[in-house]
Amino acid sequence: DGGITQSPKYLFRKEGQNVTLSCEQNLNHDAMYWYRQDPGQGLRLIYYSQIVNDFQKGDIAEGYSVSREKKESFPLTVTSAQKNPTAFYLCASSIGGKTEAFFGQGTRLTVV
Amino acid sequence: GQNIDQPTEMTATEGAIVQINCTYQTSGFNGLFWYQQHAGEAPTFLSYNVLDGLEEKGRFSSFLSRSKGYSYLLLKELQMKDSASYLCAVRDGTGGFKTIFGAGTRLFVKA
């Protein structure tokens, strides 16, 4: 079955540690996105990538980094520079700019 | 600046009709999306409008007026399972695939 997979579903890390969230898709989509969602709020764009080996900052990129070495994969690293990393992180992909996004099930990151 | 506004919460009765409004101000426009999100889950796609007018899909319809920067999502024959957040999202027209989401409208359907 085609889809977009995020792992793990729940992640706990100590403050000051970097952590990498995985996102894999087998939909053959060119575009991939990372969003952050805080309780009771909408989605805020962290990074997006329109094609392999290219990515753009979203609205809240500070403290995060990404790579897009393969079409299927778009991992997100939450660095120690991110001041408030505890949140629900959603990865998504789309065929192009005018089509809907398909979302993964999300990773709930808690930093203690 | 870029801004998308939706009501924070709405309550409606099972079997009724509800309209969720969305107004937007973005640096460009390349389509408007509506997504449904149940608590703790991923958003799922409902509708896409790029031209003015009404798009109907079963119990759900979405309307767009580009000149007014306005859209609404219409849900008919409400069911309890429609209790969820509804997210309005605009893909900007600056040449990229950047999509901006509103904060979402939490809909409560009561019996």
pLDDT category, B38, cuts 50, 70, 90? very high
| pLDDT score for A10 | 94
Contacts of B62 in chain A (CB under 8 A): none
Nearest to A103 among B43, B96, B100 (CB): B43
Backbone φ and ψ of B77, nearest 5°: 45, 55
Share above pLDDT 70 across residues of chain B, in percent, rounded to a whole number = 95
Tell me how far CA of residue B109 lies from CA of B16, B21, B83, in angstroms.
9, 17, 5
Q: Which long-range contacts (CB under 8 A, 24 or more apart) does B55-59 make?
A: none
The string of DSSP codes covering B57-109 is: ETTEEEEEETTTTEEEEEE-S--GGG-EEEEEEEE--SSS--EEE---EEEEE
Residue A36 has pLDDT above 70, yes or no: yes
Reported confidence tier of residue A18, pLDDT bands at 50, 70, 90: very high
Note the pLDDT of residue A97: 67
Nearest CA in chain B to A10: B40
Residue B110 confidence (pLDDT) above 90: yes
Q: Which tens digits make up the pLDDT trace of A39-77?
A: 877 899 999 999 999 999 998 999 999 999 999 999 999
Which residues on B lie below 8 Å from A94 (Cβ)? 97
- If 0-12 CB within 10 Å is exposed, 13-18 middle and 19+ buried, where does residue A14 land? exposed
Nearest by CB to A90, from B30, B42, B89: name it: B42
pLDDT reported for residue B95:
61
The residues that bridge with A110 in the sheet, in sequence order, are: A12
pLDDT of residue B33: 95
pLDDT at B3 over 90: no
CB atoms within 10 A of CB A82: 22
Subunit contact A96:B31, Cβ cutoff 8 A: no
Q: What is the pLDDT of residue A101?
A: 87
Query: How near does any CA of chain B get to the CA of A90, in Å?
Result: 7
Summarize the confidence of residues A81-110 as an average pLDDT: 90
Distance CA B82, CA B77 (A): 10
Give the pLDDT confidence score for residue B1 in this predicted structure.
Answer: 63
> How many helical (H) and strand (E) elements, i.e. helices and strands, does chain A have?
0, 11
CA dist B29 and B4 (Å) reads 12
Rounded Cα distance, B46 and B64, in Å:
14
Chain B positions touching A48 (Cβ under 8 A) are: 96-98
pLDDT of the residue at B10: 97
Please tell me the predicted confidence (pLDDT) of residue B94.
66
**B7 vs B34: CA distance, rounded Å:** 14
Cα separation, B31 vs B11, whole angstroms:
28
Confidence check: pLDDT of A1 > 80? no
Determine whether the interchain pair B30/A31 forms a contact, defined as Cβ–Cβ distance below 8 Å.
Answer: no
Spatial contact of B83 and B20, defined as CB atoms under 8 Å apart: no
Nearest residue on chain A to B88, alpha-carbon basis: A42
User: Helix, strand or coil for residue A60?
Assistant: coil
- Beta strand A10-13 with A102-103 is unpaired
- What is chain A's length? 112
Mutate to test the interface with A, among B37, B97, B100, B108 (most CBs of A within 10 A): B97
Average pLDDT over residues A12-36: 94
The pair of structure tokens assigned to B62 is 């979405």
CA B35 to chain centre: 6
Kindly report the average pLDDT of chain B as a whole number. 93
Say how far apart CA B5 and CA B16 lie, in whole Å: 24
Largest CA distance in chain B: 46
A96-107 mean pLDDT: 86
pLDDT at B109: 98
Model confidence pLDDT, tens digit, residues B8-32 = 999 999 999 999 999 999 878 889 9
